[in-house]
Amino acid sequence: MIKAEAKNINFYYGDYHALKDISLSFPEKTVTALIGPSGCGKSTFLRLFNRMNDLIGNIKLEGEVLVDNTDIYAKSTRIDLLRKKVGMVFQKPNPFPKSIFENVAYGMRVNGIRDNNYIEEIVIRSLKQAVLWEEVKDKLKKSAFELSGGQQQRLCIARALAVEPTLILMDEPASALDPISTAKIEELIHELKKDYTIMIVTHNLQQAGRVSDFTAFFYLGELIEINETKKMFINPAKEKTQNYITGRFG
């Protein structure tokens, strides 16, 4: 079953044609890595799925972006509900200046949930899903800023999970982390895949190989190749892909 889909997407920043006729679908409960050199359009593409690009002025989008077979750019779309369904994790961990508990509870509180027992249950479940519970269970009231960078990133993942999304967007989620924290995030992605559909932008090709089922290679705003990751890294279909992943690009 297809969880999300882009159909004939053309995207412009002013006159700049950033995404060129891209069609790509994301099967449910899979991880798809988006790779390509800086400026190739992969992050722009990722941000289409929670309408983060809307925050930038002077943009134009052509084509359809579907989540659960619904056009998320339709006039009837409520962006707050869309972002509840589509969680996002950024390159740098960005916890709120609140306690560990309140960071995870935040989404529920702004959505009007007042039942403290329910909130506590979801906070614990989300922290466990993000494999952070054992490390923070005795200091839930401490500031989130007391956590290490890797812990903060997992806290942000727990915060995203607490509002029960079904699609998770990750924009280089481990690029600012040390190898141990990176390994934890990658293990977490493997676990999350059982319940969620994940798109991950990464510059780390080995990471794409380790965590994803599918890999999409973008170059100069075009989708050059989408393939099973293991096929992409053993025998890519396109010469441009091979040149990029073997470091012989340009």
C-alpha span between 92 and 173 (Å, rounded): 7
- Considering beta carbons, is residue 30 or 242 the nearer one to another protein? 242
* Cβ 172 to another protein shortest distance, Å: 18
- Considering beta carbons, is residue 70 or 246 the nearer one to another protein? 246
Would you state the structure tokens that stand for residue 17, as one six-digit string?
Answer: 């044609």
- Considering beta carbons, is residue 53 or 212 the nearer one to another protein? 212
Which one, of 95, 55, 50, lies nearest residue 73 by Cα?
Answer: 50
Helix axes 179-192, 149-162, angle to 10 degrees: 20
* Cβ 240 to another protein shortest distance, Å: 12
HSE toward the beta carbon, residue 49, CA cutoff 13 A: 32
* Cβ 38 to another protein shortest distance, Å: 19
- Considering beta carbons, is residue 129 or 202 the nearer one to another protein? 202
- Report CA-CA distances (Å) from 38 to 42, 221, 241: 8, 11, 15
* Strand partners of residue 214: 32, 228
Would you state the structure tokens that stand for residue 4, as one six-digit string?
Answer: 């999300």
Extended strands (E) in 158-238: 167-171, 197-201, 214-219, 222-228
- Considering beta carbons, is residue 180 or 234 the nearer one to another protein? 234
* Cβ 219 to another protein shortest distance, Å: 16
* Cβ 230 to another protein shortest distance, Å: 11
Would you state the structure tokens that stand for residue 51, as one six-digit string?
Answer: 């309408």
Contact residues for another protein, defined by CB under 8 A: 205-206, 209, 232-236, 241-242, 245-248
C-alpha span between 177 and 81 (Å, rounded): 31
- Considering beta carbons, is residue 92 or 238 the nearer one to another protein? 238
* Cβ 204 to another protein shortest distance, Å: 10
